[in-house]
Structure 1
Amino acid sequence: MTDWTYDVKIWTIRKREGRRKPYQLRWKVGVRPHSESYQTSGLADSRRAQLITAQRAGEPFDMDSGLPKSLVDKNRDISWYEHARNYIEMKWGDSPGNTRRTLAEAMATVTPAFVKDTNGMPDTRAVRRALYSWAFNKNRWDEETPADVVKTLDWFKRKSLPMSALSDRLVVRAALSALSKKLDGTTAAAGTISRKRAIFYNSLEFAVDAELISDNPLDRIKWTAPEQVVEEVDPECVPNPAQAAQLLAAVRDQSQRGRRLVAFFGCMYYAAARPAEVIGLRVGDCDLPRRGWGLLRLRETRPRSGTAWTDSGEAHEKRGLKHRPRKAVRRVPIPPELVALLRWHLTAYGTATDGRVFQTMRGGLVQDTGYGEVWAEARSRALTPTEFESVLAKRPYDLRHAAVSTWLSSGVEPQLVAERAGHSVAVLFRVYAKFLSDGDEAANAKISVRLGQQS
């Protein structure tokens, strides 16, 4: 933090013969002496007058630089573009790959709103590519930049507003409007808007800490995100137990790649595991008895961030559980159906060299593109034409939703469901609100019984 003081003493200019810059201005701020030398007396007199004017105007002086606040603020008034890059650099080292992508996305979204004018601005997709893939991807800062990207980034360097411009609420409001839109101009999803606004807010807090702005302008702006549907799982996308069984059978009945993935999808359906958790599952974390229920200890995820965003240059990272401490373990009891699938899988395919249960035919990490293709083929085989055209089990992740909804509809306590699924009770109530009852027919029956008691 800057140390300010009004205790300033400015001396007359002295001339030191034989020096390249003989005219020396000396002054003291608090207990710290400062000096600057000039080639001509006129330059020295001008600087001295500038300091005296600030002193007479009652400005505080910075003890480190020796300058009045007005000059300190001017020197610190970097552009938004430069600040955004500094923010990315500050966050980069401690952020996983997917978070880095989210940071870059947010900065790439708001940066076009902080320009002096749009004259000569490249088209939307060129701007997106230059900002997202290059300006705000620190891994690429030392790489040779394509000529078209250099041209776009040079434009932003020239046109970017100074940080002092963020004192204008209308300027900041324009950035909020930008982060609520997708690239095609349509309204973004509520979760996307919330994430980007949080990052934008944090970048402004960083600016406050760096003393580029006096306070966070978002705290002074009343702004409501575009109205969104409450976040919840659409029951129409969730397969029932019979449909889930048909889908898993359709996976198994495909080629060898399908047979290698039936237990993979089974972990998502029977254990509500996230795909990245299944990819990282190790045989040592599986209790698979010959009879009865087994147990999975989920402790590792292998999220796919893309080679451009990881320190290792590999597509997948090795992380702990989502929203949990690094060494946290989630214990999930699994039914005999999944125990049997996993036992068969391990007998048929063994494990990867590092003990992972699931691997490609070449021993690598299971890829989302690969299992996505298998899932799409399973839907076409297992579902009726009407079901196939619907959102029913459209994504493999819907198997996780099916697991949670099955547990809830079976009468399992929400607290226990949340614990096994690996999220909070609040998320459970918000996202799975439509599955927290016994269903309409059961509810109607209970009401009818109650009404009948009054007649």
Structure 2
Amino acid sequence: MTDWSYTVKMWAIRKRPYRKPYQLRWQVGIRPHSESFLTLGLAESRRAQLITAARAGEPFDVDSGLPRSLIQREKDIPWYQHARNYIEMKWDHSPASTRKTLAEAMATVTMALVKDTKGMAEPRIARRVLYSWAFNVHQWDKEQPDEVKAVLAWFERKSVPVSALSERMLARKALNACTKRLDGRTSAGSVITRKRAIFHQALGYAVDAELLAENPLHSLQWSAPEKVGEELDRACVPGPELAERLLAGVRSQGARGRHLEAFFACILYAAARPGETVGLRAADFHLPQRGWGTVWLRESRPRAGRSWTDSGEAHDRKGLKHRPRSAVRQVPIPPQLVSLLRWHVTAHGVAADGRLFRTARGGMVQESGYGEVWAEARAKVLSPQDQASKLAKRPYDLRHTAVSTWLSAGVEPQIVAERAGHSLAVLFRVYAKFLKDGEEAANAKISARLDRK
């Protein structure tokens, strides 16, 4: 750890009969330091640097005798290299989907932190190369095509030094880049927030590496043009009756639809996220002949792409969202889902590893595949006006149907949060409008109590 001191003593330059005759001497704390120079001008210039730093109140490193600003200048590296160092630091402990998010944010910021844009590749190409090659650790040891080498070499030359980000206007330029898509339109609030957070972390890593004295975002007056709305939009959420009609629309699509009906039903009746549903196995269920059953949700299998996972598989394997890797979520499931799953196992069997849902070749079901089936179900069930709306736009909206149905049925929020895999705080924030539906019932209960004689 660097030992800093604000106690600095400076002596006059003295001349000696050596090859470098002009010697500058100073003391930091109780430790003496000296440097020799060929000319008096060089010695005076160095002395002026040290005096200026001391008068500005900079701490001096006891070991090297240099002020913080000069040490940072000697350690300074281009932002492009620092961004790669940051990605490498985060890589091993990040799931594949997070790696993609980190790469996306670093690509956006790195394109803004350049000295000039002369000779820069077309923005879409530059962004793709940075995302796919510069910030994907799995690609670093692979042979790069010539056009990729040219783009990366340009960023190595043109990237600003990390120390330049002590200028707040440059940090603001990077933040502004986080708000724009390549087509110039404003990004979604959640995307802006995510990229800003990653940029903030990367700057914090620069502070840890002693490349910056402080994180410039802490003193920067900046706000995103698009705010993140955490509260769920009710216009997206189909009621339970409409959700069941959509499942019937899935079932009506032949063998493919019949195979995926239970997949969507797990989202609707168990509030399972699609990524949690993809890898469900027969062993994860208790399916009695009558009554309620149980599902144990143990992991999520989101599709991230082979180049981002350590296994080389397209689907990553990670724990439940915002939970320790070993966490298991136990969710009681109603008889409707129990009977549908029993039928599914009888009709379709299971994969060699016990998975319930799979492609025709036995692989993991993919978002593109079940997304097509869901779109067709919407077309069959919804009116043209509703099809053009946000209503049930994504299979994920069935999960919102599940949670809102539980809340409107009067289930205690704590139990709903536990089954949905939320904290109570998130449940109240996201489903605030659905919780308000219980106000009339609550008022009726209070009136009944107050009216007792």
* Category of TM-score, reference length = shorter chain: 0.7 to 0.9
Native 8 Å contact 1:251 1:378 kept in 2: yes
Which runs of structure 2 are paired with 1:120-159 in the superposition (5 Å)?
Answer: 120-159=119-158
Alpha-carbon displacement from aligned partner over 1:69-120 (angstroms, at most 9, x marks no partner): 5542221121111111111111111111010011111111112221222233
Corresponding residue number in structure 1 for 2:425: 426
The residue type equivalent to 2:174 in the other structure is: A
Query: In structure 1, how many angstroms separate the alpha carbons of the residues matched to 2:257 and 2:242?
Result: 17
Confirm whether residue 438 of structure 1 aligns to residue 437 of structure 2.
yes
Confirm whether residue 265 of structure 1 aligns to residue 261 of structure 2.
no
Corresponding residue number in structure 2 for 1:311: 310
Deviation at residue 370 of structure 1 after TM alignment: 1.2
Coordinate RMSD, CA, aligned: 3.4
Deviation at residue 194 of structure 1 after TM alignment: 1.4
Alpha-carbon displacement from aligned partner over 1:317-352 (angstroms, at most 9, x marks no partner): 111111001111111110000000111111122222
Deviation at residue 46 of structure 1 after TM alignment: 9.3
Moved more, 204-213 or 227-236: 227-236
Note closer, same or farther for the CA distance 1:354–1:66 as it changes in structure 2 (3 Å cut): farther
Which runs of structure 2 are paired with 1:63-142 in the superposition (5 Å)?
Answer: 69=68, 71-142=70-141
Note closer, same or farther for the CA distance 1:423–1:26 as it changes in structure 2 (3 Å cut): same
Native 8 Å contact 1:54 1:68 kept in 2: no
Secondary structure, aligned partner of 1:387: helix
Query: In structure 2, how many angstroms separate the alpha carbons of the residues matched to 1:238 and 1:413?
Result: 20
Aligned residue pairs, count: 439
Query: In structure 1, how many angstroms separate the alpha carbons of the residues matched to 2:236 and 2:280?
Result: 26
Query: In structure 2, how many angstroms separate the alpha carbons of the residues matched to 1:72 and 1:50?
Result: 17
Note closer, same or farther for the CA distance 1:347–1:217 as it changes in structure 2 (3 Å cut): same
Which runs of structure 2 are paired with 1:340-359 in the superposition (5 Å)?
Answer: 340-359=339-358
Note closer, same or farther for the CA distance 1:68–1:128 as it changes in structure 2 (3 Å cut): same
Corresponding residue number in structure 2 for 1:324: 323
Q: Percent identity?
A: 61
Secondary structure, aligned partner of 2:295: strand
Native 8 Å contact 1:113 1:175 kept in 2: yes
Secondary structure, aligned partner of 1:211: coil
Query: In structure 2, how many angstroms separate the alpha carbons of the residues matched to 1:331 and 1:384?
Result: 37
Deviation at residue 431 of structure 1 after TM alignment: 1.8
Corresponding residue number in structure 1 for 2:393: 394
Q: TM-score, normalised by structure 1?
A: 0.85
Native 8 Å contact 1:409 1:438 kept in 2: yes
Moved more, 283-292 or 229-238: 229-238
Native 8 Å contact 2:200 2:217 kept in 1: yes
Secondary structure, aligned partner of 2:130: helix
Query: In structure 2, how many angstroms separate the alpha carbons of the residues matched to 1:86 and 1:64?
Result: 26
Native 8 Å contact 2:50 2:66 kept in 1: no
Secondary structure, aligned partner of 1:309: coil
Corresponding residue number in structure 2 for 1:19: none
Note closer, same or farther for the CA distance 1:121–1:63 as it changes in structure 2 (3 Å cut): same
Q: Any stretches of 5+ residues in structure 1 without a counterpart?
A: 17-21
Native 8 Å contact 1:12 1:26 kept in 2: no
Native 8 Å contact 1:437 1:443 kept in 2: no
Query: In structure 2, how many angstroms separate the alpha carbons of the residues matched to 1:227 and 1:367?
Result: 31
Corresponding residue number in structure 1 for 2:289: 290
Moved more, 209-218 or 125-134: 125-134
Query: In structure 2, how many angstroms separate the alpha carbons of the residues matched to 1:70 and 1:443?
Result: 65
Corresponding residue number in structure 1 for 2:181: 182
Deviation at residue 180 of structure 1 after TM alignment: 1.7
Deviation at residue 262 of structure 1 after TM alignment: 0.8
Which runs of structure 2 are paired with 1:42-61 in the superposition (5 Å)?
Answer: none
Note closer, same or farther for the CA distance 1:363–1:35 as it changes in structure 2 (3 Å cut): farther
Native 8 Å contact 1:13 1:26 kept in 2: no
Q: Any stretches of 5+ residues in structure 2 without a counterpart?
A: none
Native 8 Å contact 1:13 1:44 kept in 2: no
Query: In structure 2, how many angstroms separate the alpha carbons of the residues matched to 1:188 and 1:395?
Result: 20
Note closer, same or farther for the CA distance 1:446–1:163 as it changes in structure 2 (3 Å cut): same
Native 8 Å contact 1:26 1:33 kept in 2: no
Query: In structure 2, how many angstroms separate the alpha carbons of the residues matched to 1:70 and 1:149?
Result: 35
Secondary structure, aligned partner of 2:394: coil
The residue type equivalent to 1:212 in the other structure is: L
Corresponding residue number in structure 2 for 1:199: 198
Secondary structure, aligned partner of 1:351: coil
Deviation at residue 30 of structure 1 after TM alignment: 8.9
Native 8 Å contact 1:298 1:329 kept in 2: yes
Moved more, 84-93 or 359-368: 359-368
Note closer, same or farther for the CA distance 1:66–1:247 as it changes in structure 2 (3 Å cut): same
Deviation at residue 395 of structure 1 after TM alignment: 1.0
Query: In structure 1, how many angstroms separate the alpha carbons of the residues matched to 2:122 and 2:376?
Result: 38
Query: In structure 2, how many angstroms separate the alpha carbons of the residues matched to 1:414 and 1:268?
Result: 19
Query: In structure 2, how many angstroms separate the alpha carbons of the residues matched to 1:147 and 1:13?
Result: 55
Native 8 Å contact 2:271 2:420 kept in 1: yes
Secondary structure, aligned partner of 1:182: coil
The residue type equivalent to 1:169 in the other structure is: R
Secondary structure, aligned partner of 1:89: helix
Secondary structure, aligned partner of 1:261: helix
Alpha-carbon displacement from aligned partner over 1:190-248 (angstroms, at most 9, x marks no partner): 22111111111111110001000101111111222224363332222222222111111
Note closer, same or farther for the CA distance 1:322–1:70 as it changes in structure 2 (3 Å cut): closer
